[in-house]
Structure formats: C-alpha cells, structure tokens
C-alpha cells in the first residue's frame, strides 16, 4: 500500500494584513516536522502543495531537513485543488445575515487577533451556515464545490501514484476536513468539529491501494509534543 501524508501548514500570520505568510513559529514548526520525519527515516517519494504561500513555505522548510538526510528532494508539485477555501469570502458573504443576531460580530472580526475566542465562535457559526448549503450567495464557492475541487486533486494524485509511494501533501485544515468527509463519510458538520482540533504542521495519514483510500491516522503532532514547548502547538 502507498501512503499520503496530509500536512497542515505551519502557523500563519493571524490578524495581520497578509495572513498567507508563516510566522516565526510556523517556520520552526515546519523545520521540526522535517527533522522528526528524518529521524524516523521516513522517505518521501513525491511532494505536492497547494498554491498558497503558507503551504509552499511549510513544504520547503520541512523538505530541506529531509533532503539533508537524503530522504527526499526539494521538488514540489503545485496543485491548487489542495488550497484552503476562501474563508474571507465566506465571512464577507454570510456576515450580513448574521448581524441581526450578532450585532458585535463586525467589530470582533475586524479585531480578530485581540478576540480570538469570540472570533472562533463567530467563525464556526458562519462555517456551519456555509456547510449547510442553505445560505448560498452569488459568486461564493459552495461547500459542495469546494469538496469537488479537493476530490479532483485526490483523484489526480492517485492516478499518478505508484502503489508503494509515500506522498506528502502540504495543505490546510479545511482541505483536510473535506478529505475526511470524502474518505470516511463523516457528516460535514462533524468533520468541522474535528477541523478546529487540527494542529499546525500536524500529520494525517491516508493509505491507498489503487483508487481505494482509507484513513490511517489523524492530527498527529508528536513532533511538537516531544519538544515540550507548548508555544509550538497552535491551531491558527
């Protein structure tokens, strides 16, 4: 059987003007991941990333450690199917309908870095509306369309894979959530309850034989836990 390692990107720049940049912690998380895989002797035969900078930077930082151990090269294939859904677009499209019941929501979302707990609560409500399919808006990618995008990426990956390859996919939490839904059949709402637990640079492993795929492990972040540095365990 082959293995697909789904790797969430390192911590990005939450609350900054440009979220799509790894923070110093995010860079360190990616380096630690690469070091850990190298210590385990995990050979990566192919590496794929979404097109987002935080995904590609995570890949380059981790793969450097593996290359130094002669366990991978730094060749990185880009497939935008593994991009994250556009969370900002979801917020912009669905927030107006939420304001009557959450009048402080706009202030909270504009000052997200100072209101992390409240931001998460509101964001989860908006995502629940998006996933339900009952609040579609013109021009906004639906949850169903996003799942189809991710499914296309997985199908391409399997079509190109050898039977015993180890493939690393550097991606994002929402994409991993969509794959959980596709592979296990878990309901979208339940999948997003798991989404909120996905740690930056965590590993989820899929096993495949041909086009048959199963979930082998989810959200492993032992590479961070072993360092006994709680500040490296982040969720956003």
pLDDT score at 20 = 85
pLDDT computed for residue 8 by the predictor:
98
pLDDT of residue 13: 77
**Cα 172 to Cα 82: distance, rounded to the nearest angstrom:** 8
Predicted confidence at residue 163, as pLDDT, reads 85
Query: According to the model, what pLDDT value does residue 17 have?
Result: 61
According to the model, what pLDDT value does residue 132 have?
92
pLDDT of amino acid 14: 65
Alpha carbons within 13 A on the beta-carbon side of 86: 13
**CA–CA dist 228, 87 (Å, integer):** 32
- pLDDT recorded at residue 236: 83
**Residue that has been written with the tokens 């006994």 in this structure:** 228
User: For residues 110 and 133, what is the distance between their CA atoms, to the nearest angstrom?
Assistant: 25
DSSP letter at 44? -
The H or E element containing residue 72 is none
Task: Estimate to the nearest angstrom the gap between the alpha carbon of 123 and the chain centroid.
Answer: 16
What's the rounded Cα separation, in Å, for the pair 234 and 224?
10
Q: 228: buried, middle or exposed (CB in 10 Å: 19+, 13-18, 0-12)?
A: exposed
Note the pTM of the prediction, 2 decimals.
0.93
Tell me the two tokens of residue 193. 């309850």
> C-alpha angle with apex 182: 8 to 171, nearest 5 degrees?
15
**Four-CA torsion 68, 167, 180, 194, nearest 10 degrees:** 0
Q: Is 14 exposed, middle or buried (0-12, 13-18, 19+ CB in 10 A)?
A: middle
Q: And the tokens for 78?
A: 């880009």
Matching residue, tokens 């050979």: 43
Report how far apart, in Å, the C-alpha atoms of 199 and of each of 2, 23, 97, 145, 149 are: 24, 15, 30, 25, 23
- Could you tell me the domains of the chain? 2-85+163-232 (3.40.50.1240), 87-132 (no CATH)
Encode burial over 128-147: b for 16+ CB neighbours within 10 A, e otherwise.
ebbbeeebeeeebbebeebb
What pLDDT tens digit does each residue of the chain (236 aa) get?
999 999 999 999 765 566 788 999 999 999 999 999 999 999 999 999 999 999 999 999 999 999 999 999 989 999 999 999 999 999 999 999 999 999 888 888 888 778 888 888 999 999 999 999 888 999 999 999 999 999 999 999 999 998 899 999 999 999 999 999 999 999 999 999 999 999 999 999 999 999 999 999 999 999 999 999 999 999 98
């Amino acid at each position: 059987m082959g293995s697909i390692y789904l790797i969430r990107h390192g911590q990005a720049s939450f609350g900054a003007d440009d979220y799509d940049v790894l923070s110093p912690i995010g860079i360190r998380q990616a380096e630690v991941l690469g070091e850990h895989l190298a210590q385990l002797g995990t050979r990566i035969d192919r590496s794929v990333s979404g097109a987002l900078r935080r995904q590609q930077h995570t890949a380059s930082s981790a793969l450097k450690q593996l290359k130094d151990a002669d366990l991978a090269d730094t060749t990185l294939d880009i497939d935008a199917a593994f991009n994250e859904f556009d969370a900002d677009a979801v917020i912009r499209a669905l927030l107006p309908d939420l304001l009557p019941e959450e009048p402080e929501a706009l202030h909270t979302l504009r000052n997200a870095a100072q209101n992390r707990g409240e931001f998460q609560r509101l964001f989860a409500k908006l995502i629940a509306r998006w996933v339900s399919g009952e609040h579609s808006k013109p021009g906004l990618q639906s949850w169903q369309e996003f799942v189809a995008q991710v499914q296309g990426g997985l199908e391409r990956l399997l079509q190109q894979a050898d039977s015993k390859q180890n493939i690393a996919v550097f991606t994002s939490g929402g994409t991993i959530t969509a794959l959980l839904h596709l592979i296990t059949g878990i309901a979208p709402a339940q999948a997003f309850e798991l989404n909120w637990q996905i740690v930056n640079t965590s590993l989820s492993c899929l096993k495949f034989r041909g086009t048959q795929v199963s979930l082998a492990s989810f959200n492993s972040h032992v590479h961070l836990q072993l360092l006994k540095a709680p500040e490296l365990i982040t969720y956003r």
